[in-house]
Structure 1
Amino acid sequence: ITGVTGMRIIRAIVSGERTPNTLAQMRDVRCHATIETICAALSGNWRDEHIFALGQSLALFDFYQTKVLECDRKLEAALKALEIDEGHDVRHLPKVRTKRRQVNTPDFEVRSALYRVLGVDLTQIHGIGPSLALKLIGECGTDLAAWPSSKHFTSWLCLAPGNKISGGKLLSSKTRRSSSRAAALLRLAATTIGRSDTALGAFYRRLSARAGKAKAVTATARKIAVLFYNSLRHGMAYHDLGATQYEERYRSRVIGNLRRRAKTFGFSLQELPHEPDMDVS
């Protein structure tokens, strides 16, 4: 109800409007609900105590919105303070990957502000938007030199396989439990990217079908963490291969492994000739 249509109707109700049809006419053109549906939802007895409670809630909502804006201004100032000298030139900022604005994002241009501080655009990595990039920087910092490699970084996040060894024998390779907020954010990004037509999305779906969603989320989150580390530490640019090319490379890798195994047993794999489609007419 905090959308454009919902807030218009709520403010009108608190101001004294009670006619369902009049309230329904405030519907935004992007609203999925029809005027008839909204009218049916707004037909009631308008009890005075409920209107009073609604007015109190609206006042608190507006108050918290102002406090959120104050936090956004503080975040913007903190990022400005992190800029070295004049900061990196935003004219070198890559083209935005997606123009759709995410909900609950800070009320300033996060992508440009982060680029002036970091010199890299983390939002080019699929699964990482401006808001998530800001949260990851808040958790991990702008300098990842404390971790000598991406393996150390993913181990710190508890996204790497464990190595519980006793007597020289591996007892368990399960990932360790973690209360890291950065790891939780990366897992959330992995869940989102699983529905995309990207190389990471194809990896998630392939592993999910073979090993289950839980392991697929962890493995994909680790890949995103490695990309985040390499971009921030070494300035590496991320280029997505696409789901189709990823599947082709995976198929070629599997065929190559099969041929090598067959060769060790004295066999040779041969591709079957392509049979033309039969025209049954």
Structure 2
Amino acid sequence: MAKQKQTQKVSFEEVVERGCGLDVHKKEIVATVSGTGIESETRTFQSTTRSLTELKEWLLALGVTHVAMESTGVYWKPVMNILEPGGFTIMVVNARHIKYVPGHKTDKKDSAWICKLLRAGLLKGSFVPGRNQRDLRDLTRYRRKLVQQQSAEHNRMIRIFEDANLKLSSVFSNIRGKMCTRVIDAVIAGETDPQKLAALCTHRRLKASKEEIALAVEGCFTEHHKFMIRAIRTSISNIEAEIDHLDKEIERRMQPFEAQIQQLCEIPGIDVTSVNELLAEIGVDMEVFPTAEHLTSWAGLAPGNNESAGKKKTHTPTTATKPQKR
């Protein structure tokens, strides 16, 4: 007698009356709705503004209140921009928490699975700040990138000097300093006499002697090196101007948090720039983090806890509810 295979259907207690699960991709979004009084249905929308607006109107017409989607790169952002004003409770969830059962995987099944987990109350949304804070994040993160570019340009300048046999970094602690800049200007202008170049360095805090400086600035500085240094210094100047422009805009947007900034600046080792970046990342409302441990875990500063059979296994810091960098 042949045995008939029986398939078990997983069911959950439903805590969300009407919900929608979104499987987000670069060009399209697969949406599955389910809930009390409506039929379960799956539709595919394009990631364009017009198509996403149609998605929002469809969900509003069905009375959907909750929407869940994966934090897939930056592709969730256009969806958030359109759905956020619609009054939905939106969850951006870590992809590891909603991984579908392997085998026969499709976009429709993914969106249906997300919808089922959403309605069962089994999803925990990542911390997604409001629009103003997200904009502030863009500014502070871009500023950080520019500072890194600026540092890279200075390192590139040092390599050019090394190629020209000028050992400036050996006698000057900072090639951005006044004395070193004076020497660089003179070299670019055509001065090659080591003694005259060393005579330009008159700062009393210089540790290197005039003889050491003269030996360090004696090199083979060609027209090619001059061209490269001019180009790099122009790039650094442009970056500095852009950083200054960003600082003014960040300062303007940080005015509502002046009290919090002054309070945090009282911490030893913390300056205004660090405070601005901190507030841009986590905001001032700590209610979104139940405990201090939760905040450190979100920031990736807490070690994971992976124990099995009484043995603790090595694990990377957990960022369980943290959206991907954007």
Both structures adopt the same fold (TM-score exceeding 0.5): no
TM-score by length of 2: 0.39
More helix by share: 1
Structure having the higher Rg = 2
